[in-house]
């Protein structure tokens, strides 16, 4: 493990931090280095802390850290020696790895027994539901860290809390979720209109040596299962001129010529095609995250392929148009087929299709329809290779489908088999995606309260906790 960390450290390109300030923070990513170096949220938290007056910041990667006491990535300092820990988590299934890291550092304790650094958690998963992590942290930040973290850091620097209780009341003053307080005050979900770009790149990151740039936050559509569009703040596209400046700056600073266009709604608005044309004029290469099929018009697909994107990704979610309509997805079979044809015509090497199963109101016919749709797509694809990712539906807090009942593991497996058979008949032999067990564990944590992780640590099995979540109607 130590060898890998050295390799990551030596080949990383980007800003460096030094422990030359009176206060130190450690940004802890709840998964491995290749995913952390590809995550703008984690990078942003680290950079905000390192830029704050009076603070310097380092990082730790929960799955890529030395055995024994965790030490930080660049400075080799024990996690317990920092003043503040800023943990970022995207996926609920990473909570146990994060708690393992705190435990290995001797920092896993209830509010009354906790010593050492102040512990703050944030990220997509705890923003949706702060309760599962709250017993192990002094505060949970919900929403966009950019909107509140600089003020919190300034508050600690200018008036350092003398006790844990003083820290809790400072966090509470800024609207963070503070589990230890009986009267926690108003809790906020923070939203920001600043947009992140990569602070560093590494060849082994998920996107290789690609500078990631956010095109916006939120989404203007209203898919009923999607946490992105129902979360606070609404659709916030980046200003086109500021975005171009940011792209020029980050590619120059990191010495890369490839840009990853990141966001839930990257292709929304007329500006997307103009942006692709501009990237081409500048001699840059680019890829975009998953696109809505109705936005993959001929020109857009062609430009993306010319910019170097080899595989286009479409989210159909459900196989039948009726179920997509019920989900508010607003995509017709015809639009999906037209997008596939545009990908082929543009010369894309691959097309990736995202599906879900176990959806509310789903019938066996809807699953068979996924096979019919896939067969039609394949007919349109020529030499372009089709791959499919299909995962069970997980109801997310804050969405209209948040209270949908959870199917049990047996039923999810049956539906998965049915879908697999329909895809096989359509010529897709296998597909990737979360397993029913992984999805149910995610759902149990997404819906969990402050007892679920303490019970896991006390020896309750995931199976028991999943069954309770399934039976709670
Ligand atoms: S289009 Fe995509 S990002 Fe937008 S609401 Fe629907 S699923 Fe969410």
Cα 325 to ligand 1 centroid, rounded to whole Å: 13
Instruction: Give yes or no: residues 30 and 151 share one domain.
Output: yes
Q: How many Å lie between the centroid of ligand 1 and the Cα of residue 236?
A: 14
Q: Would you state the pLDDT for residue 154?
A: 98
Banded model confidence at residue 187, pLDDT cuts 50, 70, 90: confident
- Do residue 258 and residue 110 come from a single domain? no
Question: Are both 81 and 154 inside the same structural domain?
Answer: yes
| Radius of gyration (C-alpha) of the chain in whole angstroms | 23
Query: 386 C-alpha vs ligand 1 centroid, how far in Å?
Result: 22
Residues 33 and 104 in one domain: yes
Confidence bin at 14 (pLDDT 50/70/90): very high
Q: How far is the CA of 267 from the centre of ligand 1 (A)?
A: 11
The answer to which of 153-162, 220-229, 405-414 has the lowest mean pLDDT is 220-229
Structurally, how many domains does the chain consist of?
Answer: 3
Mutate to test the pocket of ligand 1, among 128, 214, 216, 264 (most ligand atoms within 8 A of CB): 264
> Two tokens at 7?
């390799």
Give the residue whose CA is nearest to atom 1 of ligand 1: 221
- Ligand 1, atom 3, residue with closest C-alpha: 264
Q: How far is the CA of 312 from the centre of ligand 1 (A)?
A: 17
CA 229 to ligand 1: nearest atom:
5
Residues near ligand 1 with C-beta < 6 Å? Answer: 219, 221, 223, 226, 228-229, 264-265, 292
176 and 313 share one domain: no
State in Å: Cα 192 to ligand 1 middle.
Answer: 19
Task: Report CA(227)–ligand 1 centroid distance (Å).
Answer: 8
Return the pLDDT at 438. 97
Whether residues 174 and 30 fall in one domain: yes
pLDDT at 49 over 80: yes
Using alpha carbons, select from 141, 167, 145, 164 the residue that is nearest to residue 156: 167
Q: Are residues 122 and 228 in the same domain?
A: no
Task: Say which CATH number the domain at 68 has.
Answer: 3.40.50
Cα 72 from chain centroid (whole Å): 23
Ligand 1 centroid vs 359 CA: distance in angstroms?
Answer: 16
For the chain, what is the total number of helices (H) and then of strands (E)?
A: 18, 17
Q: Own/partner pairs for 165-168, CB < 8 Å, 24+ apart? A: 167/118, 167/138, 168/138, 168/139
* Cα(205) to centroid(ligand 1), Å: 25
Give the model's pLDDT for residue 473.
Answer: 63
Query: Does residue 423 register a pLDDT over 90?
Result: yes
Among 124, 216, 223, 295, the mutation site with the greatest number of ligand 1 atoms within 8 A of its Cβ is 223
Instruction: Say if residue 51 is exposed, middle or buried (CB neighbours under 10 Å; 0-12, 13-18, 19+).
Output: middle
- What is residue 267's predicted lDDT score, i.e. its pLDDT? 84
- Give distance in angstroms: CA of 472 to centre of ligand 1: 28
Q: 155 and 39, same structural domain? A: yes
List the domain range (segments joined by +) for residue 279: 224-434
Average pLDDT over residues 64-88: 94
187 or 92, which is more confident: 92
Give the bridge partners for 312, in sequence order. 351
Q: Ligand 1 center to residue 225 CA distance, Å? A: 9
pLDDT digits (tens, 9 = 90+) for 289-307: 888 888 887 689 999 999 9
Same domain? 252 vs 374: yes
Pocket test for ligand 1, best of 215, 229, 354 (most atoms within 8 A of CB): 229
Residue 38 lies in a domain: yes
Residue 217 in any domain: the answer is: no
Reported as a pLDDT band with limits 50, 70 and 90, residue 2 is: low
Tell me how far the alpha carbon of residue 366 lies from the centroid of ligand 1, in angstroms.
Answer: 20
Query: Where does the pLDDT of residue 264 fall: very low under 50, low under 70, confident under 90, or very high at 90 and above?
Result: confident
Residues 117, 123, 129, 133: is their CA dihedral positive or negative?
negative
What's the whole-model pTM score? 0.95
CATH code: domain of residue 425 = 3.20.20.70
pLDDT of residue 449: 95
Q: Does residue 130 share a domain with residue 38?
A: yes
CA-closest residue to ligand 1 atom 8: 226
Looking at the CA of residue 228, tell me the nearest atom of ligand 1.
Answer: 8
| Mean pLDDT over each residue of the chain, to the nearest integer | 94
Residue 459 lies in a domain: yes
pLDDT at 1: 67
The answer to whether residue 269 scores a pLDDT higher than 80 is: no
Q: How far lies 352's CA from each of 107, 293, 312, 343, 441, in Å?
A: 42, 11, 6, 11, 26
Q: 418: pLDDT confidence band, cut at 50, 70 and 90? A: very high
Whole-number pLDDT of residue 436:
97
411 and 452 share a domain?
A: no
d(CA 182, CA 184): 6
In a domain, 209, yes or no: no
What per-residue confidence (pLDDT) applies to 185?
A: 75
Q: Give nearest CA residue, ligand 1 atom 2.
A: 264
Tell me the two tokens of residue 272: 């997307």
Give 287's strand partners: 260
Query: What are 342-355's pLDDT values in tens digits?
Result: 999 999 999 999 99
Query: Is residue 94 assigned to a domain?
Result: yes
Cβ count within 10 A of residue 403: 11
Is it the case that residue 17 has pLDDT exceeding 70? yes
> At 279, is the secondary structure helix, strand, or coil?
helix
Whole-number Å distance, alpha carbon 262 to ligand 1 midpoint, is 14
Q: Which atom of ligand 1 is nearest to the CA of 328?
A: 6
The atom number, within ligand 1, closest to the CA of 265 reads 3
Pocket test for ligand 1, best of 224, 225, 265 (most atoms within 8 A of CB): 265
In a domain, 200, yes or no: no
Instruction: Let me know whether 408 and 263 are in one domain.
Output: yes
pLDDT at 308: 96
Nearest CA to ligand 1 atom 6: 223
- Pocket perturbation via mutation, ligand 1, pick of 124, 315, 326 by most ligand atoms within 8 A of CB: 315
What is d(CA 250, CA 242) in angstroms, rounded to the nearest whole number?
Answer: 12
């Amino acid at each position: 493990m130590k060898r890998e960390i050295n390799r990551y450290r030596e080949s990383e390109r980007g800003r460096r931090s030094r422990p030359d300030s009176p206060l130190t923070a450690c940004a802890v990513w709840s998964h491995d280095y290749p995913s952390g170096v590809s995550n703008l949220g984690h990078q942003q938290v680290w950079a905000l802390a390192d830029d704050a007056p009076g603070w310097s910041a380092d990082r730790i990667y929960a799955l890529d850290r030395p055995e024994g006491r965790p030490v930080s990535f660049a400075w080799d300092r024990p996690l317990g020696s920092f003043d503040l820990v800023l943990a970022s988590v995207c996926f609920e299934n990473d909570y146990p790895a994060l708690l393992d890291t705190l435990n290995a550092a001797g920092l896993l304790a209830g509010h009354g027994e906790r010593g050492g650094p102040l512990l703050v958690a944030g990220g997509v998963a705890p923003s949706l539901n702060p309760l599962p992590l709250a017993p192990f942290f002094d505060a949970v930040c919900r929403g966009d860290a950019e909107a509140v973290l600089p003020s919190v850091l300034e508050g600690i620097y200018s008036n350092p809390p003398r006790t844990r209780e003083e820290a809790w009341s400072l966090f509470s003053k800024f609207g963070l979720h503070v589990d230890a307080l009986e009267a926690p005050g108003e809790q906020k979900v923070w939203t920001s209109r600043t947009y992140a770009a990569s602070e560093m790149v590494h060849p082994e990151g998920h996107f290789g040596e690609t500078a990631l740039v956010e095109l916006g936050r939120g989404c203007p559509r209203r898919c009923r299962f999607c946490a992105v569009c129902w979360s606070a703040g609404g659709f916030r596209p980046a200003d086109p001129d500021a975005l171009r400046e940011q792209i020029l700056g980050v590619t120059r600073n990191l010495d890369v010529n490839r840009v990853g266009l990141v966001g839930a709604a990257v292709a929304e608005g007329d500006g997307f095609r103009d942006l692709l044309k501009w990237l081409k004029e500048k001699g840059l290469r680019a890829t975009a995250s998953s696109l809505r099929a109705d936005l993959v018009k001929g020109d857009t697909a062609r430009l993306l392929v010319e910019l170097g994107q080899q595989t286009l990704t479409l989210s159909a979610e459900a196989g039948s148009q009726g179920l997509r309509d019920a989900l508010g997805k607003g995509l017709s079979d015809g639009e999906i087929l037209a997008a596939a044809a545009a990908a082929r015509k543009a010369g894309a090497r691959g097309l990736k299709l995202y599906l879900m199963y176990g959806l509310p109101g789903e019938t066996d016919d809807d699953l068979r329809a996924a096979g019919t749709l896939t067969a039609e797509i394949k007919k349109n694809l020529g030499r372009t290779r089709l791959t499919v990712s299909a995962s069970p539906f997980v109801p997310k807090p804050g969405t209209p489908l948040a209270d949908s009942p959870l199917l049990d593991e047996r039923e999810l497996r049956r539906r998965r088999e049915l879908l697999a058979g329909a895809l096989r008949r359509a010529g897709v032999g296998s597909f990737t995606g979360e397993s029913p067990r992984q999805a149910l564990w995610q759902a149990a944590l997404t819906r969990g309260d402050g007892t679920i992780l303490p019970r896991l640590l006390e020896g309750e099995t995931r199976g028991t906790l999943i069954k309770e979540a399934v039976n709670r109607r």
